[in-house]
Structure 1
Amino acid sequence: MAREFARKFYNSKAWKKCREAYKQSVYGLCERCGQPGDEVHHKIYLTPDNMNDPEVTLSWDNLELLCASCHSKEHMSKYDVVREDVMFDENGDLIRSE
């Protein structure tokens, strides 16, 4: 979900046109894993300070097509989402690792 300051940009014709053209240019495949891509990701994250800079918002040099999984990994990499002390059992229940 887009942050509030970027909502207008992500709904703009310019972004939608750029997004689709970029997606087609990489054949709709995630540029990290090769699966079908869903998200056109900004390598330099959008901020209120750079929102009006087309070199950041619309430049293909700053874009990367990612699948949902790779996009989630990109944005969640700052969090430790894997723990060594727990695991899922055959029923999908969380249990302590041995």
Structure 2
Amino acid sequence: MKPYAKQFYKSKAWRQCRDAYFICQHGLCERCGDPGLIVHHKEYITPSNINDLDITLNHDNLDLLCQTCLNQEHHGAKQSVVRDDVMFDERGNLIAK
């Protein structure tokens, strides 16, 4: 967590907003339908917008995501740890397919 955001994410206002949004989404990831885990800001919180309630506490700026979809959001496909051009041999060594 970014140092400038610690106080916000510990605030009662954020916890209430996050919990209400989770309930509105029935606890399901909005991208894949798996159980949701993290209420994520679509427009990332920065030092310049952290006091803007239209960014921080607006349900229109939130997504409920599972861990996989959150990782995809933050790291993208270019850093995926899953490859389809390699496999393990019978001794557990990584080899080309």
Q: Same fold (TM over 0.5)?
A: yes
Number of residue equivalences: 97
Equivalence for 1:43:
42
Contact 2:88 2:95 in 1 (8 A): no
Gaps of 5+ in 2: none
Q: Structure 1-normalised TM-score?
A: 0.85
Residue pairs, 1:79-90, within 5 angstroms: 79-81=78-80, 87-89=86-88
Q: Percent identity?
A: 44
SS at match of 2:63: strand
Question: What is the TM-score normalised by the length of structure 2?
Answer: 0.86
Q: What residue is the counterpart of 1:56 in the other structure?
A: 55
Indicate how the Cα distance of structure 1 residues 97 and 10 shifts in structure 2: closer, same or farther if over 3 A, else same.
same
Tell me the CA shift for residue 84 of structure 1: 5.9
Q: Which runs of 5+ in 1 are unaligned?
A: none
Pair 48,24 (structure 1): closer, same or farther in 2 beyond 3 Å: same
- Is residue 2:18 matched to residue 1:10? no
* RMSD between superposed Cα atoms in Å: 2.4
Displacement of 1:97 after TM fit? 1.6
- Alignment partner, residue 65 of structure 1: 64
